[in-house]
Structure 1
Amino acid sequence: MATEENQSESRLSSATSYAFPLKDIPRLSCNDRKALEMIRKSEPVILTDTNLVASALHWSLDYLADHIGDGNFTVYKSDSHKFKYYSDKKCKMVKEFRPPTVQMEMKFKDFAALLKRKQKERDCSEKIYLQQALNDSVEKTIVYDFVNFNWAWLTEQQTLNNWGPLTSNLLLVGMEGNVTPVHYDEQENFFAQIYGHKRFKLFHPDQYKNLYPYPVYHPHDRQSQVNLDCPDFDKFPNARNLTGYQGIVGPGDVLYIPMYWWHEVESLKDKGETISVNFWYMSRSVDKVEHPLSAQQKMAMTRNIEKMILQALDDPEEVPSFMQMLVLGRYT
């Protein structure tokens, strides 16, 4: 019988080939000193035995539909398999912007029924993806499972790495084939897989120049303009130099995604849907700035400079010409 690791390798071997090299994300025991060192150094690693969400591994679509309660859940609908995040507040700053997804509120039972119907009918005309912070509206059964997560291990990692507080837990339920395009977050993330499998592509913060992020005022802020499936090298020539990592997480696996690391996530064709929970933490406090600056620090500095210029000009349309005036002929 094939092992879970063999199955993961098989899924990777059948992955789409890309125009850039991808190394494997290390897959280690949470008790391995190398894993602890990688987290300390802000390097991604797949942890195999944290038991972080062991109390929730029985969660399936049907189980959640029966036990999660009658609260409203946020569901996104897309005409394609890609779910590209956008900021409602920034839509007005880009006049020609059209939201790529539609946001809806629905009961989990209704979401589960809709997902099952799409799977049964093989309806690919549109995809749906549930993304909801776990809150007090869930029923006692789910609360019991949640309370029995391995919080001791999480607290230990928080202490060892001098992170700030836990900010949120996000429940993610997606259809097979769903893709969250490449982006980065400004928090530390432990991504725990509960049901099904997901493929991750990760890129170091030093790949910033190769991924061409949108301006900070754009609704797609913190996301890359490069389509990894079909890069436009004429428009984004540095994308030719892109290098990254890939890995697959299955039930019980926890992927550490360091702050400012770019990542793209795909729900694999496995059990029909995927269920995940992530744990976001504020970054470690820095008492003293040391040089040379890290790639993460440079990304943060770039964002802050952009925000400052946008605030001073008070007009997104003035920002491009102002930025070019600073650079052209002086730093080019």
Structure 2
Amino acid sequence: MYLEEVPRVTRIDKATFLEEYFRRQRPVVIEKAIEDWPAYTRWNLDYIKAVAGDKEVPLYDDRPVDHRDGFNEPHAKMRMAEYIDLLKKEPTRYRIFLWNILKEVPQLQEDFEYPDFGLRLMKSLPMLFFGGRDSYTFMHYDIDLANIFHFHFEGEKQCILFSQEENRFLYKVPHSLITHESIDFSAPDFEKWPALRNVRGYKTSLKHGEVLYMPEGYWHYMRYISPGFSMSLRAMARNPRRLSKALYNIFIMRHYDNLMRRIRGQRWIDWKNEQAVTRTHKRLDSER
């Protein structure tokens, strides 16, 4: 597995971003894009606790997918104030993801703007993500294969990225958006997962105020080096092939997967995990 560093720029104008990164579908970290936002100086865990402490939030951890779980169904719930206290007290696997701040805490929108990178951002979908030290997401891609701008606040976050062109050796689980959950992408076991030797991707670490652009459909693994949170803004996929795949995922794939979980139960989950390995190793053998 070869990981090169995500390119970094201090600032970037719209024309350069579109030409160098969007059209080439390459990731980039912009280090000083939001220093004029109120969020740059305000947003930390204490501030979120003050403005949203009474809100009940959905929590997710890194347990394996179970057939009894619905699509993106949370594993627990907690008041935001209690959750932030937990983050600051000790390591926890609990994360918040896809928390819509327009719906939950509208006043937070006063703290940021929708930057003009030349893409039409979906202004109804600013999402927050929180995690404690050493918590992580499975390697996955977003259901809509959107262009994502990921703004990080407080602490440090490790990111590993792959394009959709790397699918054949990533142990992708069929009828899902994840790779095999047993893989630790921060330190992969190449004896157990030999196909990963053939993939190429990117890595970076994000600190407060930095912005990561993830191109359409990019796989991403996120690990919180220290407690913190991020906000994602997104723009629809432009590539017709990726846009059609997004529509398939939203309107067919996820409903089919939920139906099969109800019909076959855990056997469906186990079969998918087995197929992720079988299909990937078959491709690996065919190219040797």
TM-score tier after normalising by the smaller chain length:
0.7 to 0.9
2: CA distance, partners of 1:204 / 1:127: 27
2: CA distance, partners of 1:167 / 1:84: 31
Specify the structure having the higher radius of gyration (Cα): 1
Give the counterpart of 2:159 among 200, 210, 213: 200
Measured against aligned partners, the alpha-carbon deviations of 1:222-277 in whole angstroms (never above 9, x if no partner) come to: 111143245455654322212211112212211111122111111124xxx11211
Question: SS at 1:36's partner residue?
Answer: helix
User: Does 1:243 pair with 2:206?
Assistant: no
**Contact 1:189–1:278 (CA under 8 A) maintained in structure 2:** yes
Question: In the alignment, which residue of structure 2 is the partner of 1:135?
Answer: 102
TM-aligned CA distance change 1:172 to 1:134, over 3 Å = same
Question: In the alignment, which residue of structure 2 is the partner of 1:259?
Answer: 216
Aligned length: 259
Question: SS at 1:115's partner residue?
Answer: helix
Question: In the alignment, which residue of structure 2 is the partner of 1:70?
Answer: 54
TM-score (norm 1): 0.65
Q: Shift in Å at residue 301 of structure 1? A: 10
TM-aligned CA distance change 1:303 to 1:278, over 3 Å = closer
TM-score (norm 2): 0.73
2: CA distance, partners of 1:208 / 1:139: 38
Q: Shift in Å at residue 39 of structure 1? A: 1.7
2: CA distance, partners of 1:181 / 1:202: 12
**Contact 1:21–1:242 (CA under 8 A) maintained in structure 2:** yes
**Contact 1:191–1:279 (CA under 8 A) maintained in structure 2:** yes
| Paired amino acid for 2:232 | N
**Contact 1:69–1:138 (CA under 8 A) maintained in structure 2:** no
TM-aligned CA distance change 1:231 to 1:30, over 3 Å = same
**Contact 1:211–1:239 (CA under 8 A) maintained in structure 2:** yes
User: Does 1:103 pair with 2:75?
Assistant: yes
2: CA distance, partners of 1:283 / 1:86: 30
Matches within 5 A, 1:168-317: 168-185=125-142, 186-216=145-175, 221-225=176-180, 226-229=183-186, 231=188, 233=190, 236-269=193-226, 273-284=227-238, 286=240, 307=253
Measured against aligned partners, the alpha-carbon deviations of 1:152-174 in whole angstroms (never above 9, x if no partner) come to: x24x5224xxx7x4452221221
Question: In the alignment, which residue of structure 2 is the partner of 1:116?
Answer: 88
Q: Shift in Å at residue 70 of structure 1? A: 2.4
**Contact 1:193–1:277 (CA under 8 A) maintained in structure 2:** yes
Gaps of 5+ in 2: none
2: CA distance, partners of 1:69 / 1:258: 33
1: CA distance, partners of 2:109 / 2:124: 18
**Contact 2:137–2:223 (CA under 8 A) maintained in structure 1:** yes
TM-aligned CA distance change 1:114 to 1:248, over 3 Å = closer
2: CA distance, partners of 1:31 / 1:180: 31
Q: Shift in Å at residue 107 of structure 1? A: 1.8
TM-aligned CA distance change 1:207 to 1:260, over 3 Å = same
| Paired amino acid for 1:180 | T
Gaps of 5+ in 1: 1-19, 92-98, 119-123, 287-292
2: CA distance, partners of 1:134 / 1:262: 24
Question: SS at 1:23's partner residue?
Answer: strand
Question: In the alignment, which residue of structure 1 is the partner of 2:118?
Answer: 157
Determine what percentage of the aligned residue pairs are the same residue. 23
